[in-house]
Structure 1
């Protein structure tokens, strides 16, 4: 699957990593619902770091359709809330 991190680029990620990413996504949702800004920052960073670590970056000139779009590391809690609606970032 192709994942885009806003402001950074695209990463090729094997579907087998979705379970790990879904755990972080669930934590992120809980922190957003409770308004835990510090937890949100920590978990968003962990989610993006996991995608970077587990994935293979695509060349900058590659423009593939992204199956997932993740917020930039500096996205605010409110910006991510607007991206999500009632769902998480990672399809479950």
Structure 2
């Protein structure tokens, strides 16, 4: 799956890594719902780090459609809330 991190670029992540990413996404959703800003920052950073670690960066000039868009590390709680679906940031 092609994942875009806003402000950074695209990364291709194998489907086999999504259970780990979904676990972090579930934590992030709980922290957002609870208004836990410190936990939100920590977990968003962990989620983005996991995508970078597990994925393969695409060249800057690649024009692949992103199947998933994640907020950048500096995103505010309200910005991320607007990006959420019922499943969180990552479907599934």
TM exceeding 0.5: yes
Matches within 5 A, 1:1-92: 1-92=1-92
Structure 1 CA distance, aligned partners of 2:51 and 2:85? 22
Deviation above 6 Å: which 4+ runs of structure 1? none
Q: TM-score, normalised by structure 2?
A: 0.97
Structure 2 CA distance, aligned partners of 1:87 and 1:81? 12
Structure 1 CA distance, aligned partners of 2:55 and 2:86? 26
Structure 2 CA distance, aligned partners of 1:23 and 1:14? 16
Q: TM-score, normalised by structure 1?
A: 0.97
RMSD: 0.8
Residue segments in structure 2 that go unaligned for 5+ positions in a row: none
Counting matched residue pairs gives: 92
Offset of residue 63 of structure 1: 1.3
Residue segments in structure 1 that go unaligned for 5+ positions in a row: none
Offset of residue 87 of structure 1: 3.2
